[in-house]
Chains A and B, each alone.
Chain A
Amino acid sequence: MARRPARVQVDPESIDSNERPPQTGNIFNIWYSKWSGGDSSDRNTQTHSKTRCNIERDSGYTKADKEQDPFFCLYFSRGACCLGKKCEYLHRLPKETDSWIPHTLDCFGREKFAEYRDDMGGVGNFNKINRTLFVGRINEMDDSIELKISKNFAEWGEIDRIRVIPTKNIAFVTYRNELNAQFAKEAMAHQSLDLDNENEILSVKWANEDPNPESKAKIEHEHNLRKLSVAKQLVEKLEKLKQYESEKRSAVTVEEPDKIEDFSPKRQKMIQPSPLTPAFFNGSLSVLSELKQKKAHPQKNQTLVEYSSDDSD
């Protein structure tokens, strides 16, 4: 694909910062742009998203491509970034190579928590790698529902598997990569499976673990495989560490005689402790007292004057 700048998804002129969603509560929170208080039936407060990301049309390079560890643009995933190539976040799909994102953050740089929210929405959990999304509030379950879901969710990354439960109007979508699941969660929230079907407002959340024993076994198998790869990497790392340590040890034994040759033989005798005695053996004390005596009477012995000056360095 040719390099091209990211498209400006929304005209900056058209953004009204004072715009409020239809009133559904008593108090308006200007930070989250949401109403709170009053009758907060979830179904009434959700509105269909006005914009939708189109990866083919919108993705491109931004300022973030020059940075070293950038995050993805949240507004881009919702199809509402008004900055285009001036945006400081990435305007493209997450790939498997995007491994700099720490597991305490999601691909948009938002912090994860130790546990899921009660409604399984939000950023998610850093204790578990969850690649599966729950898709709820699907209006119609017709014959082509599997095709529709497959088409809609394949836009945001490689899909591992999809499971549709027609009797409950829900579906589960598993991505190959966790980052793609995070991206898809933002991209498909408040959207509809058919284009501009205002009646359908999908609710996309994190999926709980599948209680089916077969899939449980599969999850355990995957966990074991991951554990195996981590263990293999650990062995490699430790082998390097061991090699490094042994090299350090052998390097010390090699360097020692070279350095000692430079010293006078007398000094060598003094600083080298015997393997049986501790570093400060009694002999060194006697040498020190002897030196003090020699310093007091320097003229007595010429050879020992040299010796003392050598020691004072």
Chain B
Amino acid sequence: MSELPATCNNCLGENPYVEMIQEKDGRECKICTRAFTSFLWYPKNGSSIFKQTDICLTCARARNACQSCLLDLKFKISPEMRDEILGTNKGLMEISPATISANNSKIAKIYKANQLERNFQDEDFRRTARGVLPEPRVPQVLETARDAVVRLTSSTISHKALSSTSKRNDRKHQLAKELSTLLNKLPFNGDLTIPKDPDIKSMFLFGITDELSSFRVQEYFREQFNSTLEATILNHRTRCGFVVFMNRNSAEAVAESILAGKRPEGPSLIVIDRVPIRVAWGKVCNLGLNNKDQVRLAQLVKRQLSILCKTTRIPKSSNTIAPTNPVTMTVSNPFANLNFSGTEL
């Protein structure tokens, strides 16, 4: 009896007369490590890129996945995602495909796969006697998918709210005197008046949150001030970092446009993705050597931010800070996400 691979249309390509090379026990299944009849084909005529089956038919069937791309045959998403979203594959069989995990020993994997194969054979035997079971209708699946979207949307929003307001037990680490040495190094009270030292071409940022990515900072400086950064150093644990400019001139230009003609009163404020960040000139230096120091520095940053928040008055229309960024336009109070009452410390 000739076998056929279980593959999705994407993998097969457009050619309806696709030619395949079959090899009995040609490859080792990547999931259960058993030998299986492998297939190899070229999805595009004249192209040197080929596709082949990576997992055996039993493992593919247990996941309802394509043997080549390992995605679900019908929805073209990974089977794990499909199970999580649609809640399928639960209680379908005694030995679920998830039990063949990477942690299993080779013997266990082979044993489980053989067991699965036997289950399938039994199932096939029963099905031929009883007739084919109906597939779930599209409207039903759509309904569950819609429910999943609603559920996930609410859960992701609640997480975001939690992460921005949840405060770890900060008071566990008492502020120590060693901080003063770190404080002296870092320009927490600096500003954007052009420094005398001509070697400085970097700015010190503090107040970054854990969600802020390096590439976002680079994008921000590219979009807002049209300047490419040589490097960004963000230390998320200490909530501060540096941006290094290509040259002194571009750094000065950026400083001028951040100040926008106003006199600097302490570190200036920029808003990236609704995160208020303070900027001042500063030389690059090492931010905290061990975990303890990093936690202390983070606390210091927090305190400094709250002090700045109290002393500098933010005009009601904070649009003047970053007039062109659509994200900041919608935020009336940039400190809305961060809960600095100042009295906590």
**What is the interface of chain A, defined by CB distance below 8 A to chain B?**
67-71, 88, 102-104, 109, 111, 113-115, 125-127, 142-147, 150-151, 154, 158-163, 166-167, 176, 214, 217-218, 220-221, 224-228, 230-235, 237-239, 241-242, 245
Contacts and interface: CB of A to CB of B under 8 A. Distances in A.
B234 A162 contact: yes
B145 A234 contact: yes
Contacts of B214: 150, 154, 158-162
Given A158-B218, A224-B159, A227-B152, 20 more contacts: A69-B47, A103-B78, A104-B68, A114-B102, A142-B286, A143-B286, A145-B286, A147-B233, A154-B231, A160-B214, A162-B233, A163-B235, A163-B236, A166-B286, A218-B211, A230-B77, A231-B148, A235-B142, A235-B145, A237-B75
22 contacts: A68-B44, A69-B44, A70-B49, A113-B30, A114-B31, A126-B70, A127-B80, A146-B235, A146-B284, A147-B231, A147-B284, A150-B214, A160-B215, A166-B289, A167-B289, A224-B152, A227-B85, A232-B149, A234-B75, A235-B142, A237-B76, A238-B141
A161 B239 CA distance: 12
A70 B210 CA distance: 36
B81 interface: yes
A67 B47 contact: yes
Contacts of B242: 147
Interface in B98-139: 102, 138-139
B81 A159 contact: no
Given A88-B48, A242-B139, A218 B210 contact: yes
A163 B237 CA distance: 9
B285 to A, nearest CB: 6
Contact of A225 (B44, B48, B156, B230): B156
A228 B149 contact: yes
B213 interface: yes
A115 B102 CA distance: 6
A233 B102 CA distance: 29
Contacts of B237: 163
A230 B48 CA distance: 31
Number of contact residues on B: which range applies?
35 or more
B68 to A, nearest CB: 8
Nearest to B75: A234
B244 interface: yes
A228 B145 CA distance: 10
Interface string B145-179: 11011001101100110010000000000000000
Contacts of A147: 231, 233, 242, 244, 284
Nearest to A173: B214
A233 B76 CA distance: 10
A196 B289 CA distance: 27
A161 B218 contact: no
Nearest to A144: B284
B344 interface: no
B286 A238 contact: no
Contacts of A150: 214, 231-233
A235 B150 CA distance: 11
Nearest to B202: A147
A213 B206 CA distance: 23
A237 B76 CA distance: 10
Contacts of A144: 284
Contact of A227 (B75, B84, B285): B84
B138 A104 contact: no
Contacts of A227: 81, 84-85, 152
Contacts of A159: 213-215, 232
Interface string B239-282: 00010100000000000000000000000000000000000000
A9 to B, nearest CB: 22
Contact of A111 (B54, B102, B138, B289): B54
- Best-buried of A67, A127, A146 by chain B (most CB within 10 Å): A146
- Best-buried of B70, B233, B290 by chain A (most CB within 10 Å): B233
A245 B230 CA distance: 54
B287 interface: yes
Given A163-B236, A231-B85, A176 B215 contact: yes
B131 to A, nearest CB: 16
B205 interface: no
B44 to A, nearest CB: 6
A242 B148 contact: no
Contacts of B215: 158-160, 176
B69 interface: yes
A12 to B, nearest CB: 21
B277 to A, nearest CB: 15
Contacts of A151: 230-231
Given A163-B236, A230-B77, A242 B142 contact: yes
A154 B152 CA distance: 33
Given A221-B163, A224-B159, A237-B75, A167 B290 contact: yes
Nearest to B219: A158
Given A234-B77, A242-B142, A146 B213 contact: no
A274 B160 CA distance: 60
Interface in B298-341: none
Contacts of B153: 228
Contacts of A142: 286
A230 B69 contact: no
Nearest to B76: A237
Contact of A230 (B85, B211, B285, B287): B85
A245 B47 CA distance: 35
A143 B233 CA distance: 12
Interface string B13-48: 000000000000000001100000000000010011
